[in-house]
Chains A and B, each alone.
Chain A
């Protein structure tokens, strides 16, 4: 639990993932044969260099957040969103701003001062501002600057029946699982890539896939669990406690049937609960990776998260453990030749 707590509480909005990258680098240096970064900030951890096949496992480090774009004369900070932020969850949340993690709150006109018809509409980001408690622009400029990123402020703690609540479960859960994977050894060349800028267009992954050029790629993610009140069974996507979610199709990627079968068989062999991700929208790093070079066979396994992209996401620690077990099982099975990678490119004549 400790690692995922540290990771979710760290700050890393798309464009400045250093808070998370430094933590991971410190945690994983003892286990790596080689550690590198590239010019976008992706973190590569290699082990088993020279073995075959070459497998890339990716988890994105970045979280959605805000950027300071202006400072009013009264010291309030004007902001814009970074990544797919549902603007309706922003108002009344605490945040931290910039490298020094200056605390602030997202404020808007008090309800007492709003007309009834105003209260029905969600507040747009242009009406919101971050208040860091200063009196004027000059004071503000001593603490923050234009271009600073702001992230939700939240502590991660246990809740309910073996669940965890915190911010950035998407995708620090994936990072935590990948970090655990790195601590073990496998009979293959493993490159663990902690990618950047997934939330704004799978940008880190496309560059990382070019650099690594693996034979197979596994992407670890956090995905929507919408098994909540007001949603019909059909719209659940995934259920909390239902086990790791295997992706069939999303907006960026269609998993080859062979790969889906392999993941399902592996889960069954290990007696693990699992579910199929029942949403065909939203993209993941697999979209970028699978189209790199001449095409790379890829798969996505996700941990179900309620209230994704909010400061209060909930995951089940059972799902977390089972996803980790499945990911390990997949790597072991590949090392043993369980997924015939040659079969992906057939010579007919």
Chain B
């Protein structure tokens, strides 16, 4: 399975935070082809295990979240219009006029509407739409809506990934299905490498609402090393350079209190040794990724974070460079191949 085809398929699949099952099945079925076993835990995290060699097999956890942000119906109004709230952080300005798929008793097409401009005055038009002013329009009569839709049903942003110039791709849910694609690339690369460590490649749930899947799965697996794979802000005008990474220049490797210094330095050493491009990222506190949950699980877990540069995060046109995904996969595979018991023991020594 090619990384770009995989990414196109999984980004199109439904998988809002708390409702990841459709994309979970797809991911599990593909990843297990390059591993030994797959299972799901009670919250829905998909755990794919590729076993290592030898007796003392250190455990390495890779975590990429498969949930996407979306909408949830809060009330059915007169006329069959649906009020909604966001599941995860949605900027309301980016969804006006967006098509959605509503998962009621059956899949329904809808669009996000608001009062048309003809009926607004200049002052109203200068204000951004708020979530409360918008609604989902299914173009169905109220009675039919009430029959097919319940409060609590979820709606997914409808967007198929678009291939752009060169190796760029834009679509919804690249945050963080790109990370899941990295795990595919990594497992594929590991087919050719000798590794002692047991690799737990986990597609986590509910990261967007509070890194919840990572919290419980790290508790369950208790890895010796945990590496989160997420996306980071791609360079663009108006944002300080130090807050972004360039597209096409390899993954961001994070340093900071959330990251074990020897995990970061080893990732950098591996990148240099195998000529894998990378960029340095700083984080001055707990990061907005699964890494912040992993590090403080149980008695503490040495944690790392690698990120795919991505522009327009949390919109339906998140844009990235597929080369970055492949390079990150290689980086992690070579890192895993270098993990042994001595390295792991050192990590508790300060």
Contact = CB atoms under 8 A, between A and B. Distances in A.
B257 A38 contact: no
A211 B285 contact: no
B241 interface: yes
B348 interface: yes
Contacts of B260: 39
A82 B285 contact: yes
A100 to B, nearest CB: 16
A40 interface: yes
Given A203-B295, A207-B298, A38 B348 contact: yes
Interface in A104-126: 126
Contacts, number: 81
Interface string A1-45: 000000000000011101001000000000000001111111100
Interface string B326-350: 0000000000000000000001111
Contacts of A126: 240
Nearest to B298: A210
Q: Chain A binding site: helix, strand, loop or mixed by DSSP? A: mixed
Nearest to B348: A39
A132 to B, nearest CB: 17
B301 interface: yes
B120 to A, nearest CB: 35
B240 A70 contact: yes
A200 B257 CA distance: 9
B302 A39 contact: yes
B220 interface: no
Contacts of B348: 36-39
Interface string A42-85: 11000000000000000000000001111000000010111100
B299 interface: yes
A210 B282 CA distance: 28
Nearest to A83: B285
B104 interface: no
Contacts of B284: 15, 67, 69, 80-82, 200
B255 interface: yes
A80 B300 CA distance: 26
A70 B349 contact: no
A147 interface: yes
Interface in B235-287: 240-243, 255-257, 260-261, 280, 282, 284-286
A147 B280 contact: yes
A42 B295 CA distance: 13
Contact of B280 (A16, A36, A82, A146): A146
A70 B256 contact: no
A211 B260 CA distance: 18
A36 B344 CA distance: 16
B41 to A, nearest CB: 20
A313 interface: no
Contacts of A18: 350
B283 to A, nearest CB: 9
Nearest to A36: B348
B350 A147 contact: no
A78 B280 contact: no
Nearest to B346: A39
Given A126-B240, A197-B257, A67 B295 contact: no
A70 B241 contact: yes
B350 A67 contact: no
B256 A39 contact: no
B296 interface: yes
A201 interface: yes
Contacts of A284: none
A70 B295 CA distance: 25
Determine which residue in A14, A42, A68, A147 has the highest number of CB atoms from chain B within 10 A of its CB, and name it.
A147
A265 B241 CA distance: 57
Determine which residue in B241, B243, B261, B350 has the highest number of CB atoms from chain A within 10 A of its CB, and name it.
B350
A27 B49 CA distance: 45
Interface string A125-148: 010000000000000000000110
A210 B19 CA distance: 31
Given A37-B348, A82-B257, A201 B300 contact: no
Nearest to B255: A147
Determine which residue in B256, B298, B300 has the highest number of CB atoms from chain A within 10 A of its CB, and name it.
B300
Nearest to B344: A39
Contacts of A21: 350
Given A206-B296, A210-B298, A41 B350 contact: yes
A16 B261 CA distance: 9
Contact of A69 (B242, B295, B299, B350): B242
B152 to A, nearest CB: 30
Contact of A39 (B241, B243, B301): B301
Contact of B286 (A37, A42, A68, A203): A203
Given A81-B284, A197-B257, A207 B299 contact: yes
10 contacts: A39-B347, A40-B300, A70-B240, A78-B242, A80-B282, A82-B284, A126-B240, A146-B282, A200-B286, A203-B257
